[in-house]
Amino acid sequence: MNSDLLTRAVSNIYPASEKLKSALESGQKLRIYFGIDPTGPTLHVGHLSVLLKLRDLQNLGEQIKIVILFGDFTAQIGDPTDKSAVRKMLTPETISENLKNYREQIGKILDLEKTEFRNNSEWLAKLGLEKLLPLASEFTVSQMLERDMFQERIKKESPIYLHEFLYPLLQGYDSVVLEVDMEIGGNDQTFNMLVGRDLLKKLKSKEKFVLATKLLTDSGGEKMGKTTGNMVAFADTPTDAYGKVMSWPDSLLPLAFELCTRLSDEEVKNILAGHPKEAKMKLAHEIVTLIHDSKLAGQAEESFVQTFQKEAEPTEWQELTGKAGEKISEILVSNSVVKSKTDFRNLVEAGAVEEWPNKNPIVADQIFTAEIKLRIGKKRFVRIRPA
RNA sequence: GCGUCGGUGGUAGAGUGGUCAAUUACAACAGACUGUAAAUCUGUCGCCCAUUGGGCUACGCAGGUUCGAAUCCUGCCCGGCGCACCA
């Protein structure tokens, strides 16, 4: 067992780290699960710390059985943890589409052969009141209200809906049905995971370990990507993913290495001792390798260096076609490169649009005549060819 | 049901008859700076046309008052909080 298995990227272990340690050392078989609500189209680096932890555990061998639970039912209810008010109802099609991506993306990290996949609609969809009410009677309203986030809402006089009380129960019930020995999730899931622990104890007299991982937060303590747009998704192209990591603040580096890579402490220490830019490139390379592969990571890195550091010809151009006589602005709008003509005009006025590579300025209502390459801002490279 | 407060741009949240396409903050986008960044500074940030400027559509929905409404009135829809029993 790796010495940092129970410490790296770990925020808390319930009931106690030592207990889990001895369970692991005793060779006791453990069913460990991680629940994800398929609310978005893709996993992102925020999931990476949990997945890597699961992989570490999976590597222990036969002793461990990893169960990935897709909250296809709970996704429809909406976890109040991400309380941004009105949730959009997801259609079953969207959900199953998401699930397809998720499974494949998880395969980047975990050994799918050794992983069990379940959907919680299996049991939650047919959970009747006669089952639900006894669950609800295990908890008091004040226990639920204790959650920080409910307290905050009371303070702000914003609504708390009944179904939001139900959510932790349902997630907890997953633990009961799956008869797991352990649950892993982000720190923000601690409350829900502990409800499951209580339920399991009450209904099946079973002890469930709960391992909460640290969250990838920025210096303000906000979850990455929540306040800024640089959350790296598994579905991002290698180049995008690489670029997004490079735009993370330097201050995030130590935490990001801990959570999103498996470089050893010592390696990380060496890397961090060097130039921050080099360190971040290393981080970006590692992350892209995890969510794609090392070859693509290499290419992404090369393209990044080319484009931004050497200002050389970018390796990827967005290819468009246009008719001679058409306004360039119209071609760009119809291909959603820019939002509107006004948007394009503003960019032109800001000096953000130039012809590549001779840097000729472009005027707002320039007419398209022959093949032209444009650089718009820092990141948009467009080549327009005659149709 | 009663009382009361409220529904504003991607978000939060000002604005209570004209100077409001709507203060501000965050996010976004761009420029400068740099180590790619971040931070900082500057600009943009409804849509369309335009050289200054003009037009259109927007402040829950539908009507109305007014020369003029995000702002006033009426109705409707949605929501918060309080009250309801013990009295």
CA of A344 and C1' of B9: distance in angstroms? 20
Give ipTM to 2 decimals. Answer: 0.84
pTM value? 0.86
The C-alpha atoms of residue A127 and residue A182 are separated, in whole angstroms, by 23
pLDDT at A262 over 80: yes
Q: What pLDDT was estimated at residue A291?
A: 94
Fold identical between A10-213 and A318-386? Answer: no
Find the nucleotide nearest A311 (Cα to C1′). Answer: B36
Measured CA A163 to C1' B73 distance, in angstroms? 39
- Please report, for chain A, the start and end positions of each structural domain, with discontinuous segments joined by +: 10-213, 238-309, 318-386
**At the fourth CATH level, which superfamily is domain A10-213?**
HUPs (3.40.50.620)
Across A138-157, b (16+ Cβ under 10 Å) vs e yields: ebeeeebeebeebeebeeee
The C1' atom of B35 and the CA atom of A100 lie apart, in whole Å, by 40
As ranges, strand B nucleotides with an atom below 7 A of a protein CB are 12-13, 26-31, 35-39, 43-51, 79-81
Region A313-338: mean pLDDT is 87
A238-309 adopts what CATH topology? Tyrosyl-Transfer RNA Synthetase (1.10.240)
Q: What is the pLDDT of residue A78?
A: 59
| pLDDT of res. A86 | 40
Task: List strand B contacts in A 169-188 (CB < 7 A).
Answer: none
Please state whether strand B lies within 7 Å of residue A381 at its CB atom.
no
A118 strand-pairing partners:
A69
* CATH 3.40.50.2300 describes domain A318-386: no
